[in-house]
A and B are shown apart, each in its own frame.
Chain A
Amino acid sequence: VQLVESGGGLVQPGKSLKLSCSASGFTFSSYGMHWIRQAPGKGLDWVAYISSSSGTVYADAVKGRFTISRDNAKNTLYLQLNSLKSEDTAIYYCARKFFDYWGQGVMVTVSS
């Protein structure tokens, strides 16, 4: 099982970014997936979840700004980040449904 995030970087406040998580080694379409973030020096902060049937749940802090989605044909999970704020600066991890597999994380920095 391998999860590899990409798409991070430096972005200005109010702008957008799209993260990807490429999955391999398991039947991606059968599993729900999470995005979790970790601000510098802080704890883990759950962001969003998408079920195997594409039902979604969001943390209040990102609801209306972030969108989680998946492409089962490409074995890829996405997180669209809109209206970014400085407090969204963090390492973003994707993880499988029961947190048994995690990616290496991708850094998102929101700064002018």
Chain B
Amino acid sequence: DVVLTQTPPTLSATIGQSVSISCRSSQSLLHSNGNTYLHWLLQRPGQSPQLLIYSVSRLESGVPNRFSGSGSGTDFTLKISGVEAEDLGVYYCVQGTHAPWTFGGGTKLELK
């Protein structure tokens, strides 16, 4: 199975600060069809997860454009350009290129 390693496990930020989260895969997530099925989710406290970014860099409808995703192959990054209070929670990467689907361990974003 594909292992996704997220770093850091915890991230402390001030409002307005820009931060990045890394997601590294144990194997390339480039599918034979040319797509890369690496997505980013946010789970706010007490809520269900929500999709932020799909297929590496595509912003889900309704998600603020301070969120961006980049990467290829085995290395991926989620960037928040100017953290806001509503961004606090746990961020997960998830891959769907290779069955079974797998999630990263999560990165908790806290206020400093």
Q: Report how far A36 CA is from B106 CA in the complex, Å.
A: 15
| Residues of B within 8 A of A (CB-CB), count | 22
In the complex, whether B102 has a CB less than 8 A from a CB of chain A is yes
Q: Which residue of A lies closest to B55 (CB)?
A: A98
B49: chain A residues within 8 A (beta carbon): 44, 93, 95, 99, 102
| Residues of A within 8 A of B (CB-CB), count | 20
27 residue pairs from A and B, CB less than 8 Å apart: A34-B101, A43-B92, A43-B106, A44-B43, A44-B49, A44-B94, A45-B103, A46-B94, A46-B100, A46-B101, A46-B103, A49-B99, A49-B101, A58-B100, A60-B1, A93-B49, A95-B49, A98-B39, A98-B54, A98-B96, A99-B39, A99-B49, A100-B51, A100-B60, A102-B48, A104-B48, A105-B48
In the complex, whether B50 has a CB less than 8 A from a CB of chain A is yes
Q: Which residue of A lies closest to B95 (CB)?
A: A46
Enumerate B11-50 residues with CB–CB distance to A below 8 Å.
Answer: 39, 41, 43, 48-50
Q: Which residue of A lies closest to B101 (CB)?
A: A46
The distance from the CB of A42 to the nearest CB of chain B, in whole angstroms, is 9
Q: Report how far A103 CA is from B50 CA in the complex, Å.
A: 10
Q: Are A57 and B100 in contact (CB under 8 A)?
A: yes
Q: Which residue of A lies closest to B96 (CB)?
A: A98
Interface residues of B (CB under 8 A from A): 1, 39, 41, 43, 48-51, 54, 60, 90, 92, 94, 96, 99-106
The 6 tightest CB contacts between A and B, nearest first, are A102-B48, A46-B101, A44-B103, A43-B106, A100-B51, A57-B99
The distance from the CB of A38 to the nearest CB of chain B, in whole angstroms, is 8
A98: chain B residues within 8 A (beta carbon): 39, 51, 54, 96
Provided the pairs A46-B100, A98-B39, A98-B54 are in contact, do residues A103 and B48 lie with their beta carbons within 8 angstroms? Answer: yes
Q: Report how far A102 CA is from B105 CA in the complex, Å.
A: 19
In the complex, whether A10 has a CB less than 8 A from a CB of chain B is no
B41: chain A residues within 8 A (beta carbon): 44, 99
